[in-house]
Structure 1
């Protein structure tokens, strides 16, 4: 899985994502999420407002709830979701922002595509942390798209679009459109 970042100047940056280990644990109720979210945010040099912390809380709650019915993540413990998913997602921000600003880019106009979004990581967490950025979550499995659409609605994110399609099909369609303009 990857995160493709494109600015208005058409710069692209691919970041590989780590696969998480397998294992099942019983779901625990959400406890002290605000404290955990604050720790997560500060550990990745990103500070989340109270509203953003609430959005992350809503996401984690939805993820753990839906994960009981469908396999979204192997991590089923709230504190592990915070450390293994939320903190890891937020950790992408500083190097991503440095990559754009070091080339003189304006980070306020960044558009990101989370290819193979799955459970919406890191896309949804990044969308919470950077509401001025535009995010597209590209996922091929309809049931995961349904979850992503639900999460976007529950989190009240206006900067996220969910696209249910295969990345290969999207790229092929763009190539075909580009070639038709050349003829």
Structure 2
């Protein structure tokens, strides 16, 4: 296991710059987006173009609109959506891309055309935001609730995203499907469940040599320790624990990265509901 940061500056802000300028109109209020350290300014993550900024605007407007009719997020303030959802989603890019380049031999470290599945996508986080930032990637949003899938399909349409599919099913079913089992370069999850449960949802979907990345809070060490046996059983090992600092109210966050080293035993994932009721 290694503990890494997403730039050379120790424990400084590591988020990619959201926008090229310092002030932009997003939805109904004027928000400021700026790099708050030289580390962010020199980030390898590409700032969003004007067209990508517009896609983010459309997403935020759709999320807040639909959230009045259904439970998509507890966050109802536009500025907080940007910090807690959009920027936190983008924060996984530096550790993900660094790990993928380091581990990918079959692709020669090429970041184009990556297939990523967002497990338990909910309101489309981080998947929709990653699809905006990396249009050459193929993103699948996996969500079990039909109402949320309807929102995701709407968001994909209004954002004009051609690189996103919405899959409405449980991870336990999809992980046993011939079409999706061990079919993805990367599985990502954000605020869905404990790591030992997430591992059974996500790792069966990842190809050997691929990555599983989970966005977690400031201190995931207990979760990591409790998940170690499950991760090993499912064919993976921990690659990195990367520290990122969020501009959201919860401050520093982490990204836990696992490498899929061998095939997942066929019995996993178990029947729907079993991973959460009886974790490995």
Q: Per the shorter chain, which TM-score range?
A: 0.7 to 0.9
Structure 1 match to 2:155: 151
Structure 1 match to 2:79: 79
Higher helix content, 1 or 2: 1
TM (normalized to structure 2)?
Answer: 0.49
Higher strand content, 1 or 2: 2
In structure 1, distance between residues paired with 2:177 and 2:134: 29
Structure 2 match to 1:60: 60
Contact 1:127–1:135 under 8 Å retained in 2: yes
In structure 2, distance between residues paired with 1:145 and 1:49: 27
Structure 2 match to 1:16: none
Residue 145 of structure 2 is aligned to residue 141 of structure 1 = yes
In structure 2, distance between residues paired with 1:82 and 1:46: 17
TM (normalized to structure 1)?
Answer: 0.74
Structure 2 match to 1:102: 102
Structure 2 gaps of 5+ residues are 1-26, 183-265, 267-280
Instruction: Find 2:121's aligned residue among 110, 117, 121.
Output: 117
In structure 2, distance between residues paired with 1:173 and 1:48: 35
1:31 to partner: Cα distance: 1.1
* Helix, strand or coil at the partner of 1:107: coil
Structure 2 match to 1:32: 30
* Helix, strand or coil at the partner of 1:173: coil
Q: Which has the larger radius of gyration?
A: 2
User: What is the Cα-based RMSD across aligned positions, in Å?
Assistant: 2.4
Superposed CA deviations along residues 21-69 of structure 1, whole A, max 9, x for unmatched, are: xxxxxxxx62125x44x669x6774400000000000000000000000
Question: What does 1:88-99 correspond to in 2, within 5 Å?
Answer: 88-99=88-99
Structure 1 gaps of 5+ residues are 1-28
Instruction: Find 1:174's aligned residue among 155, 171, 178.
Output: 178
Superposed CA deviations along residues 56-107 of structure 1, whole A, max 9, x for unmatched, are: 0000000000000000000000000000000100111111110111124211
In structure 1, distance between residues paired with 2:35 and 2:90: 11
